[in-house]
């Protein structure tokens, strides 16, 4: 003792009793759950394995992916339109967008989905045309509003309201001075939007959109109530026949988990990249070539 040079002694951090308690408790609970999961025969892990790559499950997964991608893409486009409308100086346009956003964010998406599925009860014939004239066409609502269409419409319209708020938040993060600078150069409204506002709003919009995408992937499970054979419904169709409810729910859950984990890596990369970009430098090094054009006066 006392042989270690006082200047070289390590500095140990404080370990409180609650830290030890936390370790012990977490490990005990963990072991308990693991033992139960592995030994409870009702989990039927064999059946989970049997159905994990079953054709109808994979087809359901494909439909889930399709619904996610399609409703996110359409919802983002519509959300962009709503955000632009919301920022309009024309009051009725802005109010209309505001009402849409309030309505679709203020009611549960499950209710909205069932609503769209039953829309033909409200409008048996959809007539597109100019009011109080004969111009336009009518279509049979029952014919077009099948389960998948209703699912797509419901998810898209709901997502558009959320995307509109995200995009509007991105727009409002762009400083007033930027808009004044663009105005003083004589830029038109659409030019200002494309060259000044949108590029600067992207760093806050893109990571939030990634989160919405992951959320939407799980949200699509709601459309199972319409009888759309997406991932959850595909599992349900099997266990309705075989009564192997729990194993099939586990199959669906594992697929949702796998996809979410796969998506969360690019999502975290997006977040990292854009949090850097806002603080300092964009990443387009190739544009350096513009600095000294041929024929420039030296």
Partner 1 sequence: MSTDGTIHARGIRKSFGSKSVLQNIDLDVASGEVCCIIGPSGSGKSTLLRCINGLETVDSGVLKVNGENFGYYETDTAYHALSKKKLAEQRTRVGMVFQQFNLFPNMTAQENVMSGPVLVKGHDKKKAAVRAYELLASVGLSGHGHKYPAQLSGGQQQRVAIARSLAMDPEIMLFDEPTSALDPEKVGEVLAVMKDLAKKGMTMVVVTHEMGFAREVSDSLLFMDEGYVIERGDARDVLGSPKERRTQAFLEKVL
Dihedral angle computed from the Cα positions of residues 12, 17, 19 and 20, in that order, rounded to the nearest 10 degrees:
100
Nearer to partner 1, 187 or 214 (CB): 187
Euclidean distance between CA atoms 262 and 258, whole angstroms: 6
Which of the ranges 68-76, 108-116, 141-149, 182-190 carries the binding residues for partner 1, by CB under 8 A? 182-190
Cβ neighbours around 123 below 10 Å, total:
10
Q: How far is CA 163 from CA 74, 103, 151, 170, 200, in A?
A: 10, 14, 18, 10, 17
Is residue 290 a contact residue for partner 1 (CB under 8 A)? yes
Pick from 132, 143, 184, 243: which binds partner 1 (CB under 8 A)? 184
Which of the ranges 7-15, 95-103, 196-204, 241-249 carries the binding residues for partner 1, by CB under 8 A? 196-204
Is residue 6 a contact residue for partner 1 (CB under 8 A)? no
Residues 179-211 as b or e (16 or more Cβ within 10 Å = b): eeebeeeebeeeebbeebbbebbbbbbbbbbbe
Euclidean distance between CA atoms 182 and 199, whole angstroms: 13
Is residue 189 a contact residue for partner 1 (CB under 8 A)? yes
Nearest to 47 by CA among 224, 256, 254: 254
Q: Count residues contacting partner 1 (CB under 8 A)?
A: 30
Is residue 297 a contact residue for partner 1 (CB under 8 A)? yes
Is residue 188 a contact residue for partner 1 (CB under 8 A)? yes
Is residue 291 a contact residue for partner 1 (CB under 8 A)? yes
Residue 294: φ, ψ to 5°: -60, 140
CB of 177 to partner 1, least distance (A): 4
Pick from 81, 173, 187, 214: which binds partner 1 (CB under 8 A)? 187
Is residue 292 a contact residue for partner 1 (CB under 8 A)? yes
CB of 173 to partner 1, least distance (A): 12
Pick from 17, 46, 92, 177: which binds partner 1 (CB under 8 A)? 177
Q: Helix 91-106 and helix 147-172: axis angle, to 10°?
A: 120
Pick from 10, 17, 46, 293: which binds partner 1 (CB under 8 A)? 293
Is residue 16 a contact residue for partner 1 (CB under 8 A)? no
Is residue 55 a contact residue for partner 1 (CB under 8 A)? no
Is residue 190 a contact residue for partner 1 (CB under 8 A)? no
Which of the ranges 24-32, 119-127, 175-183, 249-257 carries the binding residues for partner 1, by CB under 8 A? 175-183
CB of 83 to partner 1, least distance (A): 19
Euclidean distance between CA atoms 246 and 236, whole angstroms: 10
User: Given its phi and psi angles, is residue 90 left (phi above 0), alpha (psi -120 to 50 degrees) or beta?
Assistant: beta
**CB under 8 A, 24+ apart: contacts of 170-175:** 170/201, 170/202, 170/204, 170/205, 170/208, 171/83, 171/87, 171/197, 171/201, 173/200, 173/201, 173/204, 174/200, 174/201
CB of 196 to partner 1, least distance (A): 6
CB of 79 to partner 1, least distance (A): 22
Which residues of this protein are in contact with partner 1, per CB under 8 A?
175, 177-178, 180-189, 191, 195-196, 199-200, 280-282, 287-288, 290-293, 295-297
């Amino acid at each position: 003792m006392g042989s270690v040079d006082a200047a070289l002694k390590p500095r140990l951090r404080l370990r409180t009793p609650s830290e030890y308690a936390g370790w012990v408790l977490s490990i005990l609970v963990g072991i308990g759950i693991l033992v139960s999961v592995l030994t409870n025969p009702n989990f039927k892990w064999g059946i989970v394995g049997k159905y994990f790559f079953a054709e109808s499950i994979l087809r359901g997964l494909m439909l889930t992916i399709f619904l996610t991608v399609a409703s996110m893409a359409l919802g983002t486009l519509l959300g962009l339109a709503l955000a632009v409308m919301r920022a309009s100086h024309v009051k009725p346009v802005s109010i209309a967008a505001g009402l849409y956003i309030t309505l679709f964010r203020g009611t549960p998406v499950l209710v909205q989905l069932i609503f769209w599925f039953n829309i033909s009860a409200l409008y048996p014939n959809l007539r597109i045309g100019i009011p109080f004239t004969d111009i336009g066409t009518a279509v049979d609502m029952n014919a077009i509003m099948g389960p998948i269409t209703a699912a797509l419409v419901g998810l898209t319209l709901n997502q558009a309201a959320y995307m509109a708020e995200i995009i509007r938040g991105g727009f409002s993060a762009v400083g007033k001075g930027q808009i004044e600078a663009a105005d003083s150069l004589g830029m038109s409204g659409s030019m200002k939007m494309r060259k000044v506002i949108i590029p600067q709003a992207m760093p806050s919009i893109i990571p939030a959109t990634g989160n919405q995408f992951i959320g939407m992937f799980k949200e699509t499970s709601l459309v199972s109530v319409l009888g759309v054979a997406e991932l959850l419904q595909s599992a349900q169709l099997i266990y309705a026949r075989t009564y192997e409810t729990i194993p099939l729910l586990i199959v669906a859950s594992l697929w949702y988990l796998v996809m979410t984990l796969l998506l969360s890596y690019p999502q975290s990369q997006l977040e990292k990249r854009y949090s850097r970009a806002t603080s300092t430098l964009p990443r387009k090094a190739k544009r350096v070539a513009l600095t000294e054009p041929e024929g420039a006066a030296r």
